[in-house]
Amino acid sequence: MLYRGLMKLNNTVRMHRARLDLSQEELARAAGVSRQAIHAIERGKAEPSVTLALRLARIFGLSVEQLFELAETEQPG
């Protein structure tokens, strides 16, 4: 399938981190990244590598598709 529109990666990392009562620092340590990386992913300012997405999903006991969703956005003008 070809995607012609712009795509945005949405995620539920913050919600699942809160569900497990983890701080950003604790999640970062468990995933092997910096706290800043977790912050940027939660805010939608950065997209994780495939490896990191898989690590995060495993930490939360979810599939990658349950944690991340590719959503189509409107194209400008």
Residue 77 CA to residue 27 CA, distance in Å, equals: 39
The domain segmentation of the chain, as residue ranges, is: 6-73
Question: Contact 43/13 with Cβ under 8 angstroms?
Answer: no
Q: What is the pLDDT of residue 72?
A: 79
CATH 2.60.120.10 fits 6-73, yes or no: no
The two tokens of residue 53 are 């997405």
Tell me what pLDDT residue 7 has.
85
Task: Tell me: pLDDT of 5 over 90.
Answer: no
Q: CA gyration radius for the chain?
A: 13
Global confidence as pTM: 0.85
**Pairing mode of beta strands 6-11, 68-73:** antiparallel
Tens digits of per-residue pLDDT, 15-59? Answer: 999 999 999 999 999 999 999 999 999 999 999 999 999 999 999
